[in-house]
A = this chain, B = another copy of it.
């Protein structure tokens, strides 16, 4: 028995999104997703803890990239750390992922519990980043402010990326706007 099936994760993600769109998130079962992807339910559970996780599996990779960027930074200057973190995030949002991300976003917006989960994942991203910054030597409150800044810029830029903007450009714009807003 082959335990690892090439492309199964992508097929499962695509199958799940198709079904969520066609018949609704709530109405879709793991068995249906697995069948449509041409794998067994057992294979589904090798990749995802439950149905909901199909929509959030990318978030862990994002967290790891963020932590790696902070750990690899040669500077402990806040502006450098912010730039490094934003660059790491931007790598996950090339233009070719936009169509999939838009469809995912529409599914999230169809279900308040999914939107709550998305918010909590975003919060977790901030916490993980703040912890990484603390390990890099920033004090707790400065680490939280830097992480919150990255979170705010990312959140704003992500919305613009979804509507067609380049991610790195959208991040630079959002950071400049935030700077103007707090300049007083």
Render A112-152 as a binary contact track against B, CB cut-off 8 A, 1 for contact.
00001001100100000000000000000110111011011
Please, could you name 12 A-B residue pairs with CB atoms under 8 Å apart, sorted by A? A116-B120, A119-B120, A141-B159, A141-B174, A145-B156, A145-B177, A148-B156, A175-B182, A178-B182, A179-B182, A179-B183, A179-B184
CA–CA, A182 and B152, complex, Å: 12
Collect the chain B residues with CB atoms within 8 Å of residue A142's CB.
177, 181
- What class of interface size applies to chain A in its complex with B? 20 to 34
CA–CA, A179 and B78, complex, Å: 11
Establish whether residues A181 and B145, one from each chain, have CB atoms under 8 Å apart when the complex forms: yes
Q: 20 extra interchain contacts, Cβ-Cβ under 8 A, other than A144-B156, A144-B159, A179-B183? A: A78-B181, A79-B181, A82-B182, A116-B120, A119-B119, A119-B120, A141-B156, A142-B181, A145-B152, A145-B156, A145-B174, A145-B181, A146-B181, A148-B148, A148-B151, A148-B152, A148-B156, A149-B152, A149-B178, A152-B152
CB of A36 within 8 Å of the partner chain = no
CB of A98 within 8 Å of the partner chain = no
Q: Which of B155, B160, B184 contacts A148 (CB 8 A)?
A: B155
A residues at B contact (CB < 8 Å) = 78-79, 82, 116, 119-120, 123, 141-142, 144-146, 148-149, 151-152, 155-156, 159-160, 174-175, 177-184
Collect the chain B residues with CB atoms within 8 Å of residue A174's CB.
141, 145
CA–CA, A145 and B170, complex, Å: 13
- A78, A149, A182 pick with most chain B CB within 10 angstroms: A182
Collect the chain B residues with CB atoms within 8 Å of residue A156's CB.
141, 144-145, 148
Collect the chain B residues with CB atoms within 8 Å of residue A119's CB.
119-120, 123
Collect the chain B residues with CB atoms within 8 Å of residue A160's CB.
141
